[in-house]
């Protein structure tokens, strides 16, 4: 079987990130991606993870503590728009849009703030680095967000970025898809 979209995102990231590098989880949620990234960068690396819900921070912190990986992760109770204020060179940035699984479905990522965060993320992405954006659009805000993010990504300079879309096109019910953006190595 073909891999699912999240597996593809992780494969693309795994191929590019070296131990010791800095990476960002822009949408921490229940911490699945934060944990994946923390394992990938090893003990010398650094993960910065964002979420606006205290519930997400608590769940992720507990998981990282259990795995003994908390010391390499910075958990920020803040919007991912604050990527703008980071002074880092990130090897990978993961966005997993939508609402917190098991949480309040009314609290979702929103088109305008997501675009601002993606734009800031692209500024801190190192050459050869990758941003993955998982798009779940089976809810009202998700459909608007999908349109906005796709339109934004289509306009990115092909001299600077490679943009890939990975999507099953014969699935019903607004199947999630992946946009992956690589900053071209100089």
Return the number of the residue (82 or 186) whose C-beta is nearest ligand SAM.
Answer: 82
User: How many residues can be counted in the chain?
Assistant: 186
* Binding test (CB under 6 A) with ligand SAM, winner from 9, 13, 33, 75: 33
Q: Does 98 bind ligand SAM (CB under 6 A)?
A: yes
Q: Is 27 in the site for ligand SAM (CB under 6 A)?
A: yes
In the complex, the smallest distance separating the C-beta of residue 70 from ligand SAM, rounded to whole angstroms, is 16
| Size of the residue set binding ligand SAM (CB under 6 A) | 20
Closest residue by Cα to residue 152 from 172, 177, 171, 133: 133
**Smallest Cα–Cα separation from 73: which of 83, 84, 85, 61?**
61
Measured CA to CA, the distance from residue 27 to residue 121 in angstroms comes to 13
Q: What is the DSSP string of 70-113?
A: GGGEEEEES-GGGGGG----EEEEEEE-SB-TTS-TT-B--HHH
- Beta bridge partners of residue 125, listed in sequence order: 90
142 sits near ligand SAM (criterion: CB under 6 A): no
Scan residues 52-71 and list those touching ligand SAM (CB under 6 A): 52-53, 56
Give me the least distance between CB of 44 and ligand SAM, in Å please: 23
Q: Is 177 in the site for ligand SAM (CB under 6 A)?
A: no
CA-based end-to-end distance of the chain: 35
Binding site for ligand SAM (CB under 6 A): 27, 29-33, 50-53, 56, 79-80, 96, 98-100, 107, 109, 113
């Amino acid at each position: 079987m073909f891999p699912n979209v999240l597996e593809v995102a992780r494969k693309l990231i795994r191929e590019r990130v070296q131990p010791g590098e800095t990476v960002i989880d822009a949408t921490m949620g229940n911490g699945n991606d934060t944990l994946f990234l923390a394992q990938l960068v090893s003990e010398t690396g650094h993960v910065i993870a964002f979420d606006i819900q205290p519930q997400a921070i608590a769940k992720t912190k507990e998981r990282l503590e259990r795995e003994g990986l908390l010391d390499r992760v910075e958990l920020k109770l803040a919007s991912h728009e604050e990527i703008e204020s980071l002074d880092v060179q990130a090897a990978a940035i993961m966005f997993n849009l939508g609402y917190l699984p098991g949480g309040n479905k009314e609290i979702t990522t929103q088109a305008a703030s997501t675009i601002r965060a993606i734009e800031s993320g692209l500024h801190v992405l190192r050459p050869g680095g990758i941003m993955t954006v998982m798009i779940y659009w089976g809810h009202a805000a998700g459909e608007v967000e999908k349109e906005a993010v796709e339109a934004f990504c289509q306009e990115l300079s092909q001299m600077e970025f490679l943009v890939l879309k990975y999507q099953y096109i014969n699935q019903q019910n607004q199947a999630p898809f992946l946009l992956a953006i690589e900053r071209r190595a100089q």
